[in-house]
Amino acid sequence: MRKKILVIHGPNLNLLGEREPEFYGKTSLESINKKMSDIAEKNNIVLEIYQTNYEGEIVEIIHKKRTWADLIVINPAAYTHTSIAVRDALLAVKIPVIEVHLSNIYSRESFRHKSMISDIALGVISGFGEESYFMALDAAKKIIFT
Ligand code: DQA
């Protein structure tokens, strides 16, 4: 059976490339997703990628994929800092999680220093732009195949 990774992008990440490029880079989400899909294919991993601007939809995606995914890579974007609902959904499904951020959330405003997800994640990759996602996939690969 091929291993499966669920990737979830939270709110405003659909505007990557045009949104605050000094923090989030000039690459579009489509391009990041394409590169992730290529990495997954090369490693014989099945990837499903979702982006939503709605907190409840993140919860529903996690629920729907709870028997499908071997690992979740999530950039909850602004919901990182606020969402007990996303945290609880991740706790409920007990799927290993890697938290990703394009920017270094610890070098920005103090309200971004708090994450509702970090302490329940396997690890956090923050601050490497689009590379954060590719590093997360690399880590995910090592975790799901060992
Ligand atoms: C982000 C950081 C969050 O603080 C912010 O709200 C985002 C994106 C990042 O990828 O750097 O929308 O998660």
Pull the structure tokens for residue 103. 């920017």
- What is the model's pLDDT at position 145? 92
**Low-confidence stretches of the chain (pLDDT beneath 50):** none
Q: Which of 9, 79, 101, 133 is catalytic?
A: 101
- What is the model's pLDDT at position 29? 98
22-51: pLDDT as tens digits:
999 999 999 999 999 999 999 999 999 999
Closest CA to ligand 1's atom 10: 101
Edge-first strand listing for the sheet containing 4-9: 46-51, 4-9, 71-75, 97-101, 123-126
Q: What is the mean pLDDT of the chain?
A: 97
| Structural domains for the chain | 3-144 (3.40.50.9100)
The question of whether 81 is a catalytic residue gets the answer no
- What is the model's pLDDT at position 4? 98
